[in-house]
Amino acid sequence: MKNRKPLILVTNDDGITAPGITALVEVMKTLGDVVVVAPDKAQSGMGHAITINSTLRIHKVKIYGVKSEYSCTGTPVDCVKFAVNKIVDRKPDLCVSGINHGTNMSINVIYSGTMSAAVEGAIENIPSVGFSLSDYTIDADFTASKKIVKMIAQKVLKNGLPKGVCLNVNIPKLKSELIKGIKVCRQAKANWVEQFDERHDPGGHPYYWLTGKFENFYKGQNDTDVWALENNYVSVVPTQFDMTAHKAIKEIQKWKL
């Protein structure tokens, strides 16, 4: 069994036909046997949502000519759960999500369907990586991204990842030769300043679009993902699902609850 090809699970949150997942599948086909289970529509901003109050549908598709490929009516996290439990016959050696059209740096890791799929992979004890490119458009150029994706995926297949940890990789919108390198860094302390765009329907009743502006409140720090992207580096943030604020435990214990 030693020489069998790696089994690679691919998903995303932009939907199974997005150019970003097409690029990701193309790279993964050069590295192993590929299984695709991805949402049948855009699922951006779904965070770690799972579908428990309604049912899921899964459809076999023929888009990429890989080992097996399915579209799913659920969230990115549903896709990973379904793939692991119903599609594959052994635990995948790698789970990759993306390539997202748009970055998932800083606090966006928590809203991102792309990253939540990678986090779910880590929960399932699979080495997992979420990839995002700093270009929201349908015409995004994934040429440079594909080189970086391949190199990082090879490293993860070779080295594995620490237990409970996945990677959040963000790639600047630049040609390969202009990318300065790769920085392993931490999630920046930045925020969304939300705005709700109020409109009125033909009956005069208000409805809202959630929108906003991303603000980096800590510009000076060169060990963050926001800094890396702004300075033409690829950012790699090791990301965990243990949300315990370990340092705060002693402080709260002093309250004598």
Residue nearer to a second copy on the CB measure, 7 or 179: 179
Closest approach of a second copy to the CB of residue 10, in Å? 19
Contacts of 182 (CB under 8 A, 6+ apart): 148, 152, 233, 234, 235, 236
Closest approach of a second copy to the CB of residue 113, in Å? 8
In angstroms, the Cα distances linking 58 to 9, 78, 96, 216, 238 are: 16, 11, 19, 39, 31
Cα 60 from Cα 49, distance rounded (Å): 23
Contact assessment for residue 72 and residue 54, using Cβ atoms and an 8 Å cutoff: no
Closest approach of a second copy to the CB of residue 148, in Å? 9
Closest approach of a second copy to the CB of residue 114, in Å? 13
What residues form DSSP beta bridges with 171? 133
Closest approach of a second copy to the CB of residue 249, in Å? 6
In the block, tokens 């939907």 appear at 15
Closest approach of a second copy to the CB of residue 159, in Å? 6
Residue nearer to a second copy on the CB measure, 12 or 239: 239
Instruction: Identify which of 35, 27, 43, 42 has the alpha carbon closest to the alpha carbon of residue 10.
Output: 35
Structural element, H or E, at residue 11: strand 7-11
Instruction: Identify which of 32, 170, 179, 154 has the alpha carbon closest to the alpha carbon of residue 105.
Output: 170
Residue nearer to a second copy on the CB measure, 34 or 84: 84
In angstroms, the Cα distances linking 46 to 9, 57, 135, 213 are: 20, 18, 19, 19
Residue nearer to a second copy on the CB measure, 66 or 123: 123
Enter the tokens of residue 32.
């192993």
What is the CA 35 to chain-centroid distance, rounded? 17
Residue nearer to a second copy on the CB measure, 4 or 222: 222
Closest approach of a second copy to the CB of residue 127, in Å? 12
Residue nearer to a second copy on the CB measure, 1 or 257: 257
Residue nearer to a second copy on the CB measure, 22 or 191: 191
